Structure 1
Amino acid sequence: MEEGLQQFKADFFKALAHPLRIRILELLVDGKKSVNEIQSCLEKEGSAVSQQLSVLRAKNIVYGIKEGKKVYYSLSDPMIGELLGVAKEIFNNHLINTITRLEEMTINGSDEDNI
């Protein structure tokens, strides 16, 4: 059972592993959007957006509802928005740690120059 869960997680994160898919999900955090709205916000061609939406749909990360001639996409689970928020926090922490290390190296390097 644990192996099945690990495979699900791996497949889930593979589906997220594309900058355009992440941008689409970030847009959908604010609520449903039509394909045209997504294309317009991202300034991307329809084929590129449709291809990425297809990957996200295949993994049940988003779903589409047809209203008239338009299809509106939404997140399949609101926790996806929380996951994106946590990923941003991890990125920020990583960035802060990197900046701190660089500053420490600069300060230590300057101390050696003054000796």
Structure 2
Amino acid sequence: MPVPLYQAKADFFRTLGHPARIRVLELLQEEGPLPVRDLLTRIDIEASSLSQQLAVLRRAGVVIASREGSTVVYALATPELAELMGAARRILTDMLADQGELLAELRAETTG
């Protein structure tokens, strides 16, 4: 029996649900394909932890890995992932702006 679409979507978002994984995706979105050593210098994480997080992303098909000599280079599996990261940034910006407006109103009420 196939997995329902809503379950597949939930699994996909669970895959993204780790700060190190999000940071990897942000870096790949901003800079394009990167070798593991560059990811490691830009993310405050142990090498073994980064390796585990990259494996999760790779198994889920979110990133692809290629070898260039002895170097492993990671890239987003599809351009739509960059769009998703941009959409997430816009959504959070709007949400935080709304919270900022609410906070200003609350402060105005307490000082007024």
Fold in common (TM above 0.5): yes
37-46 or 23-32, which deviates more: 37-46
The verdict on how the C-alpha distance between 1:91 and 1:44 changes in structure 2, with shifts beyond 3 A counting, is same
Runs (4 or more) in structure 1 with deviation over 4 Å come to none
Q: SS of 2:66's equivalent?
A: strand
RMSD: 1.7
Q: Give the deviation of 1:2 after TM superposition.
A: 9.6
Name the structure 2 match of 1:71: 72
Mapped to 1, the partners of 2:26 and 2:84 lie a distance apart of 11
Mapped to 2, the partners of 1:21 and 1:50 lie a distance apart of 11
Q: Deviations over 1:19-41 (max 9, x none)?
A: 00000011111211111111012
Q: Give the deviation of 1:94 after TM superposition.
A: 1.1
Mapped to 1, the partners of 2:3 and 2:70 lie a distance apart of 42
Name the structure 1 match of 2:16: 16
Given the two structures, how large is their TM-score scaled by the length of structure 1?
0.89
Identity of matched residues, %: 40
Q: Deviations over 1:82-114 (max 9, x none)?
A: 111111111111111111111111212333xxx
Mapped to 1, the partners of 2:107 and 2:40 lie a distance apart of 44
Q: Give the deviation of 1:3 after TM superposition.
A: 5.8
1:5 aligns with 2:2: no
Mapped to 2, the partners of 1:42 and 1:9 lie a distance apart of 27
Structure 2 unaligned residues grouped into runs of 5+: none
Mapped to 2, the partners of 1:10 and 1:101 lie a distance apart of 30
Mapped to 1, the partners of 2:80 and 2:108 lie a distance apart of 42
Q: Structure 2: which amino acid aligns with 1:5? A: L
Structure 1 unaligned residues grouped into runs of 5+: none
18-27 or 42-51, which deviates more: 42-51
